[in-house]
Amino acid sequence: MTAQPPPPRLYLITPPLGDPAAFTPALNAALEAGDVAAVLLRLEAADERTLIDRIKAVATAVQRRDVALILDGHPQLAARAGADGAHLTGIAALEAAIGTLKPERIAGAGGLRSRDDAMLAGEAGADYVMFGEPSLYPPPHAGDDRERADRPPFDFELDRLAWWAELFEPPCVGYAGSLDEVLPLAQVGADFIALGDWIWTHPQGPAAAVAEAAGLMSSFPA
C-alpha cells in the first residue's frame, strides 16, 4: 500500500511591519492556533539598523516555537539579524542571493511566472518554490490597492502545483487567498499552504483564521 502524504503545514505571511511590538500579540495568537512551519516577514522601508532591530524583535516570537523566520527579500540581513532565510521574488533575485544564503540558510523562490522559471529556481538550488502569490511588496502610492492585481487565476496555480509536486523534489508552497482555497491546494500536493493578509483582517482575529485553516488540514487527505 502507498503511504498517504502528511498534511501540508502552514506558512504565514505578515503585513508590512513598521512596529513589531504592536503586531506581536496577533502574531503570537496566530502561531498558537495551528501547525505553522514558517513566517514570511514583510518589512516597511527603513534604514538598515532599524530593519535589523525589527527582524530580531519578530525572531524572538517566532523562533522560540521552532518556526522558521523567512525575510521577504533582504538576503544580506538574514545572517546579521538571525533570520532563518529569505524569500526571493524572481529568478534574478534568487540567483543573486543564493550564494549569500546557502548552505546555512533557506533560499525560497517566488514570482515564478512560467514552468521554465520554476525549473530554473530548482536548478539554482531553491529550498522551496511558491506559486500563486500576489506581489508581496506594498503598492507604490498610498491608497493604491493593487496587492492582488498580478495574481494568476487560481486554476492556474492548482495546475502548476500539481505539476511540480508530481515531478520535482523541492517542496512547493501554495498561496491561499482565502479559506476556500486551502483544501484545494492541499489536494493537489502543496507541501505548505501560505496564508496572507486575509488572516490578519479576519472578523474573529488571526487565531480564528489560522485555526480554521488548520482544521481543514486535520481532515486531509480524507
Taking the domains of the chain in order of start, what are their residue ranges?
9-214
- Give helix 20-32 / helix 206-218 axis angle, nearest 10°: 30
At 156, which amino acid appears?
A: F
Work out whether strand 128-131 and strand 68-72 pair parallel, antiparallel, or are unpaired.
unpaired
CA distance 72 to 43: 8
First to last CA, the chain: 16
CA distance 2 to 143: 51
Give residues with Cβ within 8 angstroms of 165, minimum separation 6.
172, 188, 189, 190, 191
Closest to 86 in 3D by CA, of 127, 46, 50: 127
Grid coordinates belonging to 57: 524583535
Structure pTM?
0.91
Average pLDDT over residues 148-174: 88
For 9-214, the fitting CATH number among 3.40.50.1970, 3.40.640.10, 3.20.20.70, 3.40.50.450 is 3.20.20.70
pLDDT in tens, 29-84: 999 999 999 999 999 999 999 999 999 999 999 999 999 999 999 999 999 999 99
